[in-house]
Amino acid sequence: MASSRNTLNGFGYLLNDTSRLLRRCFEQKAADYNITSAQWRAMAQLSRNDGLTQVALAHLLEIEPMSVCRLIDRMEAGGFVTRHPDPADKRAKLVYLTDKSRALLDIIRVVAMEVYEDAFAGFDEEERLRLVGALNRINANLSGVIAVREEEIA
C-alpha cells in the first residue's frame, strides 16, 4: 500500500498543470472570439461584481495591479469594458462590462462547458461529482488555513 507521502508527491504540480491545460484548451476553443482566458476570468468576475476598482479586480484575479491595468487597457481597446472615475476615490477607476462583453459571456460559458466536457471525458457522473466534491473540500481546507494565518498576521 502506498504511503500518504507517495500519494501526495507531485499533487501541487498536477493541479497546476491541469489548470494550465484547461486554460490552453479554453484559449484554443475561444480563439475565434478574440478573447484570452485572462480576459474571460476578468469578465466572469465583473459579471458577478460589475463596477469593481482595478485594485479589487487584481485581488480577485490574484495578479498584480499593473498587470490588471494592462489587461483592462486591452479589454477597453477591444470594446469589452469601460472605465469610469470612482466618485469615492479620485485616483481609482471603476471597471464595467460593455454590452459587447455581456453578449459574449453566454457564448464563452458554452466554450468553457465544452472544455469541461473534454476534461471529464470517460468519467461517469458519480466520478465527476466525487472529484468536484473533493476539490471543493480541498479549497475549503486551504481557505480556512489562509484565513487563520491572515488573522494571526493582522
Please state, in angstroms and rounded to a whole number, the distance separating the CA atoms of residues 60 and 117. Answer: 26
Contact 95, 52 (CB under 8 A): yes
Q: What is the pTM of this model?
A: 0.73
Q: What is the pLDDT of residues 96-131, one digit of tens each?
A: 999 999 999 989 889 999 999 999 999 999 999 999
Q: What is the largest CA-CA distance in the chain?
A: 62
Q: What is the pLDDT of residues 7-48, one digit of tens each?
A: 778 999 999 999 999 989 998 998 888 888 889 899 999 999
- 1 pLDDT more than 70: no
Please report the pLDDT score of residue 38 as a whole number: 87
Q: Residue ranges of the alpha helices (H) in 2-124?
A: 4-8, 11-29, 37-48, 54-61, 65-77, 99-119
